[in-house]
Amino acid sequence: MDTILVVNAGSSSVKFRVYGVADSQSLTEVVNGQVDGIGVRPRLRANDGDGGKLIERTYAAKEVPDVETAMRTAGAWLRTEQQLTFRAIGHRVVHGGPKYDKPILIDQKLLDDLEKYVPLAPLHQPNNLAPIRILLDRFPDMPQVACFDTAFHRGHSEVADRYAVPDRLYVEGVRRYGFHGLSYEYVSQRMREVAPDCASGRMVMAHLGSGASMCAIANGQSAESTMGFTALDGLPMGTRSGQIDPGVVLYLLSEKGMSAIAVQDFLYKECGLKGLSGISNDVRELLESSEPSAALALDYFVYRIGLNTGMLAAALGGIDGFVFTAGIGERSSEMRRRIAEKLAWLGAEIDPAANERGALCISRPGSRLSLYVVPTNEELMIARHTLAAISQRDSADSAFARMA
């Protein structure tokens, strides 16, 4: 069976999903798994498409010390024990910069180009590119496709795209990009099945996880995002600051004597819910805590979501639906309830019973603002883009062969 492999690598884990290609359009999940604890307590876990356990195997730290070894370990298991052969491999790449606005087949030139955007996504881009480099070296003839989190937002108007800086900086790429685009693209498509009228109107989507952002969507197209030049902007996140006065950065540099790298690490790793609470970056732990600082962190998170909803509603000229997705948005009925209360001025009325069971629609009948909970699936979106890219290439090759 032909399959598409989707890879999403982090600093200490490699997540993967395998989709069977039934025909030119249909994809079915066959395997989902990950290698986590790389270099510390490595473990390979995987389930089949129905959720049944396929493997849970631990390794000594020295057996899987890095991402490359983790890739080899997972790949060997998929090939030898699952007897899978891959038609192509799709990758999530966080930053495509101003140049790449759609999924693209990978070659060495593209990989070199994407290295330029590492400073704009230092937590993600190096880890996204590492498996691409490994696989390109080991399997140079295997089609690989890069799918960008920034691509969904590249249709923004110039007014929404710009910062108030000289044009020369805009030309070289200093602009608002937006992120979590693969998630927003998938949920936008899913909303056409869940609530077609709302999907063709004006929606605000909230991708709420350890990384968090919001997006204004008009008829399925991104119009505005809370994230900008980097994935630091907008909402407070697990360990990232979110929106902050640039003067704070200047203060840290000039008055605290911090280096640029130290400031970067601070804003990405020591702020957000972790910095506010002094306890944890995990919303579940903060909800269970009786510490005032935990309550402050959660109140701040909800408050900022409320503020940004108003901004995004203004960008759209109104709002017909609000959609929760990602880890917190999908799983925390308590956080959904708190956020919905902040949206009461827009006409949001939550249905407590529907919210508790995580129904697709959690607003009361007659609510002026419809509220939805739609699980995201970035990996499936990547698989769809990968299949489309290689199908387009194959069609072009076939047409060229007929002309020759």
Q: What pLDDT digit, counting tens, does each position of 339-357 carry?
A: 999 999 999 999 999 999 9
Which contiguous run of DSSP H or E holds residue 323?
A: strand 321-325
Give the pLDDT confidence score for residue 359 in this predicted structure: 95
Count the neighbouring beta carbons within 10 Å of the beta carbon of residue 315. 19
pLDDT band at 400 (very low <50, low <70, confident <90, very high): low
The mean per-residue pLDDT over the stretch 245-258 comes to 96
396 versus 391: the higher-pLDDT residue is 391
* 7, 238, 371 from 211: Cα distances, Å: 19, 6, 21
Residue 243 in this model has a pLDDT that exceeds 90: yes
Residue 394 in this model has a pLDDT that exceeds 90: no
pLDDT, tens only, 100-123: 999 999 999 999 999 989 888 888
The mean per-residue pLDDT over the stretch 11-40 comes to 86
Cα–Cα distance, 194 to 198 (Å, whole number):
9
In Å, how far from its chain's centre is CA 82? 28
* Residues tagged active-site: 149
Give the pLDDT confidence score for residue 8 in this predicted structure: 85
- SS3 call for 199: helix
Cα–Cα distance, 5 to 147 (Å, whole number):
13
- What's the token pair of residue 147? 């799918």
Interhelix angle 246-254/260-269, nearest 10 degrees: 130
pLDDT band at 397 (very low <50, low <70, confident <90, very high): low
Residue 402 in this model has a pLDDT that exceeds 80: no
